[in-house]
Amino acid sequence: MVKIDGSNSKIAENLKGRDLLTLLDYTSEEVAYLLEYAMNMKKEYMAGNMPRLLAGKTLGMIFEKHSTRTRISFEVGMIQLGGYGMFMNARDLQIGRGESVYDTGNVMSEFLDGIMIRANSHEMVKELAQHTTIPVINGLTDIFHPCQALADILTVKEVRGSVKGLKMAYVGDGNNVAHSLIIAGAHMGMHMAVATPEGFEYDPDIFGQAQKIAEQNGGSVMQTNDPVEAATSADVMYTDVWTSMGQEEEAAARLEAFKDFQINDALVAHAKEDYMFLHCLPAHREEEVATSVIDGPNSYVFQQAGNRLHAQKAVLANLL
């Protein structure tokens, strides 16, 4: 595991019992520590070692939205750490029938060692965290997706050895995935370029906070409505679906608005020759990404998906 010395033992101590709602709440040193911890956890796993750091502990996993990667990776992660992940459909809980978030949070604190929640509203998750005495981990909300971002940066670090100074271009919707990705990259001193159609830009307040973090780490954050500008000389190309869950009624309008923002062979020609392609999945081939790109030699999407397990194990081991 990560060697605890005089410097990072303080980080480990500070992480214990914390919530993970957004990476804006974490220092750059804490983000770097979690990524290094995840790298070491993966090495241990590949060597056949699975330290039972959470033996006897239970993670409650609340889902308001459908999930493949989030549910499997958190549940398997808890098993590998010696604990137990308990799946809970929000519709089956009393909170789905009108029980207050205050009551739910306080009651769950009596039973569980931590909560992971995949929810519609970030404000509700913030409220839940306020009324629990156990860590609350954001598995996805309408504004942030921090565990995905940790896995994203972990993948780049694993392939390239170092991420500081690399350029990552995100092309698509300025959504929850984009928000957390840019914040994570800023923490690691990357140069983050976001290209969205007009009207689908990044949240300006979050963008401003990410810029400040990037400047402190020798990186940068820029936003444009020109995908070519973002892609030029990029080390990493990243996209997400154009229509997220809950936006199905907007699908036709979004297809029209995003038609010039597909990551395809023409766009990646502006990136570096050895660029990495990332996508948080699920993907819609021939919409946000051409099949030739996502299934091509520069694609790391399945390694990226697998790294959800290791990034989240690092979070679980340190927070719980």
- 118 a catalytic residue: yes
Please answer whether residues 221 and 210 qualify as being in contact, where contact means their C-beta atoms are separated by less than 8 angstroms. Answer: yes
Backbone angles phi, psi at 215, to 5 degrees: -60, -35
Q: Give the torsion sign (CA, 121, 15, 203, 275).
A: negative
Instruction: Name the active-site residue from 69, 118, 122, 191.
Output: 118
Q: How are the residues of the chain apportioned to helix, strand and coil, as percentages rounded to the nearest 5?
A: 45, 15, 35
Instruction: Name the active-site residue from 152, 308, 310, 312.
Output: 308
Q: Omega before 282 cis (within 30°)?
A: yes
Whole-angstrom Cα distance, residue 112 to residue 316? Answer: 13
Pure H helices in 81-175: 101-111, 122-130, 146-160
Which amino acid, 301? V
Query: DSSP 3-state assignment of 137?
Result: strand
- 304 a catalytic residue: no
- 216 a catalytic residue: no
Instruction: Name the active-site residue from 69, 145, 279, 310.
Output: 145
Please answer whether residues 204 and 198 qualify as being in contact, where contact means their C-beta atoms are separated by less than 8 angstroms. Answer: no
Instruction: Name the active-site residue from 19, 113, 142, 240.
Output: 240
Both tokens assigned to 44 = 């241990």
The candidate with the shortest Cα–Cα distance to 122, out of 146, 92, 106, 104, is 146
Instruction: Name the active-site residue from 148, 209, 211, 312.
Output: 148
Residues 6+ apart with CB under 8 A from 314: 34, 35, 37, 38, 41, 150
Instruction: Name the active-site residue from 280, 304, 310, 312.
Output: 280
Residues 6+ apart with CB under 8 A from 304: 151, 152, 155, 278, 279, 280, 281
| DSSP class of 197 | -
Angle at 279 between CA 80 and CA 243, to 5 degrees: 115
Whole-angstrom Cα distance, residue 169 to residue 172? Answer: 10
Both tokens assigned to 296 = 């091509």
Catalytic residues, by residue number, are 118, 145, 148, 240, 280, 308
